[in-house]
Amino acid sequence: MPELPEIKSRAKEMNQALAGKTITGVEVVQPKCLNIPEEAFIQNLTGAQFLEAENRGKWIFNQLTNGWLLINLGMGGEILLSFRENLPEKYRLVFDLDDSSCLVINFWWFGYVHFVASGELAAHKMTAKLGPNADEVSLAELHEILKGRRGGIKSLLLDQSKITGIGNAYVHDILFLARLHPLRTADSLNEAEIEALHRGIQEGLRPSIEKGGAFYEVNLLGEPGKFNGEDILIGYKEGNPCPICGTPIVKIKTGSTASYICPTCQAI
Ligand SMILES: [Zn+2]
């Protein structure tokens, strides 16, 4: 599933590739991924110009001359800059652009492509309550997010309304970097542990952001990200030695999800 490093990379690529281009036509193969009727979607998007793209967590926000094009790839998918004569076999939406290229969107399973008119972003329920981007959260903001919360630290990191962009791909390494057990409660962390968590979030996301995201997602040109399996420290590496102390990594059950930890470095 694409998380902050992949989506931030896509937003950056879209910003570079699309700014100033105008949509000349829209083909909708999967109307279910839209938030408004297909005809209204096509009418609003045709003639709109891309201004700027950025990510908020796992969502891409494309600012247009008349509103916003919001994209969420769900469990995974591709956003490709292509040409009509070179379309992939499977796609859900195509935006034709005024330079005769096109933006092609595919979802492996299901995703969202929403149009929100200017000034109405606050009424878009799926994004209105997103927390701050995980890679941009300050130490002071993290303090606020953790304050008085008795739940486990892992579920808090995955709660997109508190802090957005982290999912099951990166959370294991983030907690490992912070030397925190996933079941530690947020309100049990002391000052040094909160600072370690802040650093862990930064250091757990930055390498992948710098490498254009994980290898299992592709960029706008269809090339895979350069954050590879060997860049992952402990996530999904059950039985491998901990890179710090050599203790074998274990997979444990944490509520409804599995977690990968070093039982020595991340003692509860
Ligand atoms: Zn260890």
* DSSP classification of residue 236: T
The token pair at 88 is: 């992939």
Q: Are 61 and 55 in contact (CB under 8 A)?
A: yes
Q: From ligand 1's centre to the CA of 176, what distance in Å?
A: 8
pLDDT score for 15? 97
Give the mean pLDDT of the chain: 97
* Full-model pTM: 0.95
Cα–Cα distance list, 197 to 7, 11, 82, 172, 178 (Å): 22, 26, 40, 12, 5
Look up residue 230 and give its amino acid.
E
Centroid of ligand 1 to alpha carbon of 197 (angstroms):
16
* Alpha carbon separation from 101 to 83, 85, 114, 233, 254 (Å, rounded): 5, 10, 21, 39, 46
Quote the ligand 1 centre to 264 CA distance (angstroms): 5
Which single residue is written with the structure tokens 């590496």?
237
pLDDT band at 268 (very low <50, low <70, confident <90, very high): confident
Q: How far apart are CA 139 and CA 195, in angstroms?
A: 7
Whole-number Å distance, alpha carbon 196 to ligand 1 midpoint, is 16
Q: Which residue has the tokens 């700027």?
A: 52
Q: Tell me, what's the pLDDT at 256?
A: 87
pLDDT tens digit sequence for 119-144 = 999 999 999 999 999 999 999 999 99
The per-residue pLDDT for range 72-90, each reduced to its tens digit, is 999 999 999 999 999 999 9
Asked whether residue 2 carries a pLDDT value surpassing 90, the answer given is yes
**What order of strands is seen across the sheet that includes strand 67-72?**
50-56, 59-64, 67-72, 112-117
Burial of 245 (0-12, 13-18, 19+ CB in 10 A): exposed
Residue 182 has pLDDT above 90, yes or no: yes
What separation in Å is there between the alpha carbon of 29 and the centre of ligand 1? 49
Predicted confidence at residue 37, as pLDDT, reads 98
Identity of the residue numbered 169: A
Model pLDDT for residues 32-76, shown as the tens digit of each residue: 999 999 999 999 999 999 999 999 999 999 999 999 999 999 999
Q: Which two tokens stand for residue 214?
A: 């994980």
**Radius of gyration over every alpha carbon of the chain, rounded to an integer in angstroms:** 20
pLDDT (0 to 100) of residue 255: 87
**pLDDT score, position 131:** 97
Protein residues placing their CB within 5 Å of the ion ligand 1 = 242, 244-245, 247, 262, 264-265
How far is the centre of ligand 1, averaged over its atoms, from the C-alpha of 6 (Å)? 28
User: Residue 251 pairs with which residues in a beta bridge?
Assistant: 260
Cα–Cα distance for residue pair 193/266, rounded to 1 Å: 12
**Which 8-state DSSP code applies to residue 256?**
T
Instruction: Give 208's DSSP letter.
Output: H
Spacing, Cα 165 to ligand 1 middle (Å): 26
Among the listed residues 29, 14, 18, the one whose alpha carbon sits nearest the alpha carbon of residue 88? 29
Query: Which of 86, 125, 92, 94 lies closest to 108, judged by CA?
Result: 92
Contact 186, 149 (CB under 8 A): yes
| Average pLDDT value for residue range 199-214 | 98
> Per-residue pLDDT tens for 147-160?
989 999 999 999 99
In the chain, the amino acid numbered 155 is S
